[in-house]
Amino acid sequence: GDSVTQMEGPVTLSEEAFLTINCTYTATGYPSLFWYVQYPGEGLQLLLKATKADDKGSNKGFEATYRKETTSFHLEKGSVQVSDSAVYFCALRRTGTASKLTFGTGTRLQVTL
């Protein structure tokens, strides 16, 4: 079945450091790929998405590129801020009628001054 694997946290970085959170997936066909973010005390929010190979999703300085050859969708940000501290979830959504999201386990990011 479908699965998403993301790097375990917590990830602790200093402000302005470079961030990478790895995500790889297993799925048949051509899924859409997503990063969701959950800030402390808040609900899940879509951060960015990509719907086909080589697409790059971007938002709030975060980027991720859909790499079909490596089945990856790594999240990157050039300079993190304290306000980026949150839990980040990688997810996929298959084509066809089964439109549920399959999530990774989440990676907690803590950014310090």
Partner 1 sequence: GAGVSQSPSNKVTEKGKDVELRCDPISGHTALYWYRQSLGQGLEFLIYFQGNSAPDKSGLPSDRFSAERTGGSVSTLTIQRTQQEDSAVYLCASSFSPDRSNEQFFGPGTRLTVL
- Give me the residues that bind partner 1 (CB under 8 A), please: 31-32, 36, 42-46, 49, 51, 89, 93-95, 97-106
Nearer to partner 1, 5 or 65 (CB): 5
Q: How far is the CB of 77 from partner 1 (least distance, A)?
A: 21
Nearest Cα residue to 64 out of 89, 87, 98, 93? 89
- Distance separating alpha carbons of residues 37 and 17, to the nearest angstrom: 19
Q: How far is the CB of 56 from partner 1 (least distance, A)?
A: 16
Nearer to partner 1, 70 or 97 (CB): 97
Q: How far is the CB of 107 from partner 1 (least distance, A)?
A: 11
Nearer to partner 1, 14 or 45 (CB): 45
- Distance separating alpha carbons of residues 79 and 83, to the nearest angstrom: 12
Complete DSSP assignment for 45-65: EEEEEE-STT-EEEETTEEEE
Place of tokens 């907690």: 108
